[in-house]
Structure 1
Amino acid sequence: MRFLLQFAAVVAVSFVAGLAVTAAGDNVWLMLAAGVAGAVLAVFVYAWTVRLTEKREVTEASARTAASGLVRGTVLGLALFSAVIANIAVNGGYRVHGLGEHPTGAIGLAGFMAAAAVTEELLYRGVLFRHVERWTGTWIALTLSALVFGAAHLLNDNATPWGALCVAIAGGGMLTSAYIATRSLWLPIGLHFGWNYAQSAIFSSEVSGNGTNDGLLYAESTGNAWISGGQFGPEASVYTVLTGVLVTAVFLWLAHRRGRLVPMRREARTAALTLAR
């Protein structure tokens, strides 16, 4: 019941945030404001629902660690995607033609991506992964939540099974392992935002098969789809998969060092979850 209530609450606020951002239309400042407001509302609703249903302090969304987690995650996300697109470009999969026609679009995209990153992390890491981990342990929960995260991207316009699998392996693995290593939602939220913002607002590339955006650069994907990611975008590139696997491995190593991996054995899970928080 707790899972269903939390899941429904986050889905509802995600729907409202999406409507608000859509209603902003082409006004980049309204989109920015609507996206940020939706993100803040989503965190508030999540924390309130978890506190109500689980009768505990919501440490994974603590305001004390918000700023540091968001900043570190955003910088990491920007750096990682920049490294991916640089490798793609060097190998002929991405070409820049100049500045974009509407670079102010990057302002509105900050709000859009903030709302998307926050609501998705609350749903897939804060609700889905966290509850499944309590039932099965870290490894099964990591695998299942990553697969669900990837499968959800099959609903996108230019989705492909390969693209969804790449999102599951790279995105699902990287973001979930960031949560496991820190037991905080702020780092994965920042990482998710930084990655998507760089992808859309800076490099103007296709985002998970959802189309390109008016960002700072006027660019196009070219050449071999295994390198560029094809119609799905750079997230279906082999360089994204390699980067995601490497970062996931580093976060899981940190989680192991910090004692934050929850075993499958039922008798050991309760104690491990308590220590991991």
Structure 2
Amino acid sequence: MRLLKQLVPVALVAFVGGAIVGAVQGNAVLTLVLGVATAVLAVFVYAWAVRWSEGRAPVEVAGKGAFAAAFRGLLIGAGMFAAVIANIAFLGYYRVDGLGSVTGAVGLLGFMAAAAVTEELLFRGILFRIVEGWIGTWLSLTLTGLVFGLMHLTNPHADLWGAIAIAIEAGGMLAAAYAATRTLWVPIGLHFGWNFAAAGIFSTEVSGNGATQGLLQGVTSGPALLTGGGFGPEASPYAVVFGLVLTVVFMWLARRRGNVVPLRRRAGATLAR
């Protein structure tokens, strides 16, 4: 019941807000404003739902330290994607043909903000956190990561490998980031940094959703096995390897900080879980 009390209102904001933002994508300023508004509203609705259903302060989205935590995540996410692109470019399968579109990048700021915030609230803030209290950190990370990956099968150009790659490099890694920090701002920043670097800077496909026009005029070619093909670099083995490495690092930090919930630990035994 607690799961549904949180999932339904946040999912409603994500669905309605996402539809509105998608409808105005031709207007960069409107996309930016409405995307940020959707992200902010989703955080407030999540905080309200946690207070209502759990009777506690939603410390995982506390305002104090939010900017610094999100910025750290952003640097990690953008850096990770840059490393993936650098490896693909080293093989000669990605090149920059010039400058892209500033207005396109502005619109993508809003679109990716809405996507990153709503997805992290739903998958890490609600699903992972609550399920973790039932079955422990490791099983929850595996299960919710798999669900996150399979959800991407509905995207254009999606296939089973793309879904598996997303499950590993994003679903697992982002849950591990939350487990290590016990704040949603780090995975939100990481998610946004990865997505915006992919679309808003390097102009690559993001989860098979079609070509984007960001700050650079990027061209990807070569074998799909290495570049990710129509699904984008998220289906590249480089992305999977880097995601796995970061997952291991975050889970090492979680263990060191005593944040790993064992299988039989109750959900209410620790704060913000």
| Superposed CA offset, 1:232-274 (max 9, x none) | 1000001000000000000000000000000012xx4458x41
Between the aligned partners of 1:275 and 1:13, the Cα distance in structure 2 is 26
- Amino acid in the other structure paired with 1:167: I
Larger CA deviation: 19-28 vs 232-241: 19-28
Aligned to 1:97: 97
Between the aligned partners of 2:84 and 2:193, the Cα distance in structure 1 is 13
For residues 210-249 of structure 1, the aligned pairs below 5 Å read: 210-249=209-248
Between the aligned partners of 2:197 and 2:267, the Cα distance in structure 1 is 39
Larger CA deviation: 17-26 vs 108-117: 17-26
Aligned to 1:42: 42
Check conservation: 1:259, 1:276, Cα contact below 8 A: no
Between the aligned partners of 2:59 and 2:271, the Cα distance in structure 1 is 12
Check conservation: 2:58, 2:272, Cα contact below 8 A: no
Aligned to 1:163: 162
The answer for unaligned runs of 5 or more in structure 1 is none
Aligned to 1:260: 259
1:81 equivalenced with 2:81 (yes/no): yes
Aligned to 1:61: 61
The answer for unaligned runs of 5 or more in structure 2 is none
1:144 equivalenced with 2:143 (yes/no): yes
CA pair 270-12 structure 1, distance change in 2 beyond 3 A: closer
Shift of 1:276: 7.5
Shift of 1:119: 0.3
Name the TM-score, length of structure 1 as normaliser: 0.95
Aligned to 2:183: 184
| Superposed CA offset, 1:33-90 (max 9, x none) | 0000000000000000110010011111111121111111111111111111101110
Name the TM-score, length of structure 2 as normaliser: 0.97
Size of the aligned set, in residue pairs, is: 273
Task: State, as a whole percentage, how many aligned pairs show the same letter.
Answer: 58
CA-atom RMSD in angstroms: 1.3
| Superposed CA offset, 1:202-261 (max 9, x none) | 000000011111111112221121211111100000100000000000000000000000
Between the aligned partners of 1:250 and 1:192, the Cα distance in structure 2 is 17
Between the aligned partners of 2:140 and 2:67, the Cα distance in structure 1 is 27
For residues 101-116 of structure 1, the aligned pairs below 5 Å read: 102-116=101-115
Shift of 1:96: 1.8
Aligned to 2:270: 274
